[in-house]
Amino acid sequence: MPHDADFDDSHLLAANDIGALLARYEPVIVGRCIARLKGSLDAEDVAQDVKLRLLDEFKRGKRYSGLPYRVVVHQVIGWTIGDYFAGRRTDVPLPEGWEPTEGTDPADEIVSRGWVEWVVGQLDGKDGQIFGLRYRDHLEPAEIAARLAMQPNAVHQALHRGLTKLRELGV
């Protein structure tokens, strides 16, 4: 499902304007980090690590053909938050003089939801439904199992299959 932001993002990527891209996704990055770290003071540090990771990948010439940049942003957020919980943070400051530009899109929450819907659309039947309940509705696996009258282990297996398929897709 193409999204209006994807067109704008592709133009910014083509123009090598990573600053504008990072500024565009600043509220999404910070918002997800704050939500996942439950408002912890470390959330802003983790958000900065996300921006550094995106900046580093861009500088190394990594491009994501066929994959919307918003999906890349959410994937990098997930990896960086995972690194934080595993104790593998980078704590490297942004380059001097770099500041996000003003004028971010107030519809970033819609982009975030769009990413989850795109992911759910890539998965089959029950796995997609379970993935949606977990990542769109933020239910815990036990809650999903109760809601769908399934064994908790079956929910975990479906989430694992979903993550495996996403890795195969390069997400």
Q: For 13-44, give one letter per residue: b (16+ CB within 10 A) or e.
A: beeeebebbbbbbbbbbbbbbbebbeeeeebe
Each residue's pLDDT tens digit, 1-16: 456 677 777 788 778 8
Given pLDDT bands bounded at 50, 70 and 90, which one contains residue 80?
A: confident
Sorting pLDDT into bands at 50, 70 and 90, what band is 89?
A: low
Q: What is the CATH number of domain 123-171?
A: 1.10.10
Q: What pLDDT was estimated at residue 33? A: 86
Handedness of CA 11, 28, 32, 144 (dihedral sign): negative
Pairwise pLDDT comparison (110 vs 30), residue with the higher score: 30
Rounded CA gap, 160 and 152, in Å? 12
Residue 5 phi, psi dihedral angles, 5° rounding:
-65, -30
165 neighbors 118 (Cβ within 8 angstroms): no
Residues, the chain: 171
- Interval 132-151: pLDDT, tens: 888 778 888 899 999 999 99
pLDDT of residue 114: 67
> How far is residue 89's CA from residue 67's CA, in Å, rounded to a whole number?
26
CA 114, CA 116: separation in Å to the nearest integer? Answer: 5
Q: Are 171 and 143 in contact (CB under 8 A)?
A: no
Residue boundaries of the structural domains of the chain: 4-102, 123-171
66, 68, 69, 74 alpha-carbon torsion, rounded to 10°: -120
* Whole-angstrom distance, CA of residue 12 vs CA of residue 17: 5
Q: How far apart are CA 105 and CA 26, in angstroms?
A: 10
**pLDDT > 80? residue 41:** no
Overall pTM > 0.85 = no
Q: What confidence tier does 107 reach under pLDDT thresholds 50, 70, 90?
A: very low
